[in-house]
Amino acid sequence: MKGTDQGRHEVEGRVRITVALFLGITLGALALTVIARQSAPSFWSGWGGRLLGRSTKVDVSQPTVVNKIQQLQRLETVVYTMDKVVSGEKENAILPNFLAGDRLLMVVHGEVVAGVDFGGLKSGDVAVEDRKIVLRLPSAQVFSTRIDNERTKVYSRQTGVLVPVDPNLETQVRQEAERQLQQAALLDGILKTANTNARSTLTSLLQGLGFEQVEFQ
């Protein structure tokens, strides 16, 4: 019985020693951590920071990117403001203009708006590879051509003495003015400017989503 009691006491003593060592190591590590934070901030910026530091990873899936771009919808990227002199007239095949003609001269002020429509963008138009994205950009288009009625004036109107004023002539001249404004904007490269501005806007948006390299097709 004495031998059994002695063996049990030895086991209990070993367990107490083991527990005491574990608690001592744990408390010592905590104490060193507190001391390191208070007295040596460089510890956390050095190897300790690298050992315990965490990296940030942004997971941007392709459907999310497509949805973000589609939210832009019709992105207006350029507005051309223009002034143009437009004339219109009606003539008689027999009588001279001072008897049966009708001539109108108009100074037109208007604007042409162009941009890119992302409403039809599909998942296949976007390719994502890690931090790189390749986007098939829709073609730029003219969204609207508008005449500013407050700043558009009829400069002169000459109507023959034998005929009444044609109420449709001014409407026809305004329609022709819109067509000429749009044509002038196209010749001046409004679509190229709209495309360039759209790429710049999208690049900023996609870089904000975490992409480092943005390419367009």
CA distance 160 to 179: 28
CA distance 28 to 47: 20
SS3 of 126, please? strand
Distance of CA 151 to the CA centre of its chain: 33
Sign of the C-alpha dihedral computed for residues 122, 124, 127 and 133 taken in this order: negative
The predicted-structure confidence for 90-127, as pLDDT tens digits, reads as follows 777 787 777 767 788 888 999 999 999 988 788 788 88
Question: Average pLDDT, stretch 59-88?
Answer: 78
pLDDT at 58: 47
Question: Average pLDDT, stretch 131-146?
Answer: 90
pLDDT of 198 > 80? The answer is yes
What the block records as the tokens of 26 is 């744990």
Most confident of 42-46, 83-87, 163-167: 83-87
Q: In what order do the strands lie in the sheet with 213-216?
A: 126-129, 132-135, 213-216
Rg (CA), the chain: 39
CA distance 217 to 212: 17
CA distance 104 to 88: 5
CA distance 67 to 95: 65
Q: What is the pTM of this model?
A: 0.63
SS3 of 27, please? helix
pLDDT of 194 > 90? The answer is yes
The predicted-structure confidence for 169-189, as pLDDT tens digits, reads as follows 888 888 888 999 999 999 999
